[in-house]
Amino acid sequence: MTKRIPFILISVFAVLVGLYPFLYFFVERNFGLLQSKESFLLSSTAWNIGFYTHIILGGLVLLAGWPQFVSKWRDNKPNIHRTIGKFYVGFVMASSLAGVYIGWFATGGIIPAAGFISLGLVWFFTTLTAYRYIRNSKVDEHQHMMIYSYAACFAAVMLRIYLPILTSVFGDFLPAYKIVAWLCWVPNMIVAYFIVRNIKKKAETNITTA
């Protein structure tokens, strides 16, 4: 049971944050991160298309992604797994590129902009690489790269955990936002690296003892 706790927490946070973007359709826009945006951005059609593409499709990916890692689900429902996977890849392609675009306008200048643009590019290329692997029937490599992809996706969760904490610590939104632009995803990728390395070691051990 204790081994399942991290995954349960991931799934709960993924659902909660995955549904969060839909609040923008039911409440006034002047809340959350939009409070820090300048009026010219909020009135820009291109920026709004990028923003809503990023948060809505990203939220759907966050919601749909975590069940894909349940082995029983993959083994018992392979067709559903593949169908969801296709939507996942398509939505990530759109959401990540939209994220790169709106990243140029990140509040606080070059430091947060570079962080969010880098995140968008990492998310795009890890997902695209995972897709190429499965197209070439490289299942293990596909699974490993999807761990990196979802780790990048999970930055949406970590941002919403870290930002209020750091804002409280600094007493100011801006320095917290600059740190969070990197903190929300770089540690995720490090954790993903160790998860993948552990999976590879177990696979090598199984081959050796077989």
Do residues 65 and 14 touch, judged by C-beta distance below 8 A? Answer: yes
Could you list the residue range(s) of the whole structural domain that residue 71 is in? 46-209
Q: Does residue 167 form part of some domain?
A: yes
Q: Does residue 11 form part of some domain?
A: no
Q: Does residue 129 form part of some domain?
A: yes
Q: Does residue 38 form part of some domain?
A: no
Q: Does residue 137 form part of some domain?
A: yes
The pTM score is 0.87
Task: Give the chain's domain count.
Answer: 1
Q: What is the pLDDT of residues 72-100, one digit of tens each?
A: 878 788 888 899 999 999 999 999 999 99
Selected residue with higher pLDDT from 184 and 8: 184
Do residues 112 and 175 touch, judged by C-beta distance below 8 A? Answer: no
* pLDDT value at residue 2: 45
Q: Does residue 100 form part of some domain?
A: yes
* pLDDT value at residue 30: 64
Q: Does residue 17 form part of some domain?
A: no
| Cα gap 127→64, rounded to integer Å | 14
Q: Does residue 96 form part of some domain?
A: yes
